[in-house]
Amino acid sequence: MAKSRDRELIAESSQIIYDGFVRYNSAFHKITRRARTRFEKRDWQGHQDDIVERINLYEKSVRRVVLLLQKTQGNRTYDHQFWNLIRSYFGARLKKVPDAGFIKTFFNSVTRRIFDTVGVDSNLEFVESSLEEDIEMTKSLNLRRYPYWGSLEKIFETIFEDFSFRVPYSDITRNSVYISSEIEKFIANEPEHDEQDCLRFEFIDTFFYQAARAYMIGRIIMHKGISPIVIAFKNTDYGIDVDAVFLSEEEVSLVFSYTRSYYFADPNSVVGTVHFIHSILPRKPLDELYTVLGRLRQGKTERYRIFSKHMQNTNDKFVHTEGDRGLVMIVFTLPSYDLVFKVIRNKFAFPKTITPGEVIEKYKLVSKHDRAGRLIDTQEFQNLEFPINRFSGELKQELLEEASNTVKIADDNLLFEHVYIERRVKPLNLYIRQSTREAAKLAILDYGQAIKDLAQTNIFPGDLLLKNFGVTRHGRIIFYDYDEVSLITDCNFRDIPEADNIIDEMRSDTWYHVNENDIFPQEFIKFLAMDNELRTLFLKVHGDLLTANYWRNIKAKHLEGQISVIVPYKTPGLPKNYAEQEF
């Protein structure tokens, strides 16, 4: 009788988890599909609200399932052997189910929340993904194919008829001619290709929405390999127009950057979509592609799996990252892998006054905000374990002494109860020291533009020191130190008042009252730790950043509800990478 009841409970528990995933996934798709209407109505604020709602959805769904399981299972809830049977029963029913990896990840999230799992427990979790199943899902992805019969313009006129919005295109012929000319110019600059090498165009059968743009994602099949093609659309007063065409791996990589907000897209197979994009961006990690498509938990799962395999095949040790020592975080890396790990210190040295709890809230703020291509995507992990012999002596000592609240020895491992993981970039202060003069000048100019781009999205970095900014492999400046990030609308930007007398001017401290949220842009000059030539260049182009009036104007726009959209590419008439459009 007991065994019969166990079988019933195993089946019931499995169905609760599966139904919970289906409910989550349906809500995810519902929010995602709203992106088309947001784009067609130019409802950019609604799109920002959807970003937050979709991010919060997963944790809410897992919590709901866990509470239902605890109510259903009673004292069996924390029985490991019982859950091992549930895992086997559950997994057997997912073979050859499309995108089954997402369902298994959801299952893992449920068990990890129930058992507060440390590291990975293969008795409770699905650990390995099936490459064969992934390949099968790639084959099932809905694509639209357009053979090349000698006229690029005719192909794109047909494509516009197939890919349409409820808002009409402004001029299909003009847009087709524009795309065709861009492709012809690209091919003309590629010695190994000519137009007759084109065999066909393939596009994923759905639009991808991000901020105020819609994208078509595709590839050009040629006699000699493939080439990416991504088309960006904007919604104007005159209808839908092509805003840009990307045909190189570098350009497309920027569109799928880990420093931008997640896409809203509804393809029939997410796994297939990830592998399709990977075919045109082979250097882009699979885990980042899952993340950029909004499947954050799957991205985390893939990142951990891929990194764990790398650890098994290497023997180098974790060391401190290059650059200045952080006051809030201990930051380390594995030299052979392009990631950094950030652990919050127990105590923060002067002049930091923030608490560890407030730091966590700052990182949450960034995770749900439009990152404008200037804020690195950071993933929060709990209860990770790595072999203690893979840490340098100096790093291990600092972690155990200065981050003991969250880092502990567990058998032969270091256990990280809380850690952030993000892509590794070159600290800006080191980059300037080690680069050519011309590269340093470009970096300083983009540093100023990065601050302005963030301001357009209501983000004030707080700490503007060069060491808190990094340089990507594309030479783009990004910000990665979030412990002092705040919304511009929460700040009070002031001019430094004039001193009443010479005594006040000579004082080492301020002679005027300063409230908690007061910011004095005139003092930003203190952060510009660069030589005279670079500082002069910065002040010539970005001197307005040192005026309270600039920031007050930005704040007023945000309070009035004006939305500025930062796009990751050059728009005609604007400097490269500095494109922005107000709505």
First CA to last CA across the chain, in angstroms?
67
Name the E strands within 347-503: 379-381, 384-387, 407-410, 413-416, 419-423, 426-427, 459-460, 469-471, 477-479, 486-487, 492-493
Report the C-alpha gap between 317 and 41 in whole angstroms.
52
Strand ordering across the sheet containing 413-416: 384-387, 413-416, 407-410
In tens, the pLDDT along 438-474 reads: 999 999 999 999 999 999 999 999 889 999 999 998 8
Q: Is 389 exposed, middle or buried (0-12, 13-18, 19+ CB in 10 A)?
A: exposed
- Max Cα separation, the chain? 92
Element (H, E) at 447: helix 437-456
Name the E strands within 295-433: 319-320, 329-333, 339-344, 379-381, 384-387, 407-410, 413-416, 419-423, 426-427
Which residues share a beta bridge with 226? 221
Q: Is 86 exposed, middle or buried (0-12, 13-18, 19+ CB in 10 A)?
A: buried
**Cβ-based neighbours of 183, under 8 Å, separated by 6 or more:** 152, 195, 220, 229, 245, 247
Report the C-alpha gap between 109 and 124 in whole angstroms.
10
Element (H, E) at 369: none
Report the C-alpha gap between 35 and 51 in whole angstroms.
10
> C-alpha distances in angstroms, 156 versus 201, 228, 475?
10, 16, 33
Report the C-alpha gap between 213 and 578 in whole angstroms.
16
Residues in the chain: 583
Query: Model pTM?
Result: 0.89
Q: Is 84 exposed, middle or buried (0-12, 13-18, 19+ CB in 10 A)?
A: middle
Report the C-alpha gap between 274 and 137 in whole angstroms.
10
Residue 578 in contact with residue 449, Cβ under 8 Å? yes
Which candidate, 391, 382, 467, 362, places its Cα nearest to that of 425? Answer: 467
DSSP 8-state symbol, 382: -
pLDDT the model gives residue 315? 95
**Cβ-based neighbours of 582, under 8 Å, separated by 6 or more:** 557, 562, 563, 564, 565
**Cβ-based neighbours of 494, under 8 Å, separated by 6 or more:** 518, 519, 520, 548
pLDDT the model gives residue 555? 95
In tens, the pLDDT along 232-248 reads: 999 999 999 999 999 99
Residue 418 in contact with residue 344, Cβ under 8 Å? yes
The set of catalytic residues is: 377
pLDDT the model gives residue 254? 85
Extract the residue ranges of the chain whose pLDDT is less than 70.
1-2, 129-138, 191-196, 499-513, 570-583
Which candidate, 473, 454, 486, places its Cα nearest to that of 374? Answer: 454
Respond yes or no on whether the N-terminal peptide bond of residue 147 is cis (omega within 30° of 0). no
Report the C-alpha gap between 576 and 574 in whole angstroms.
6
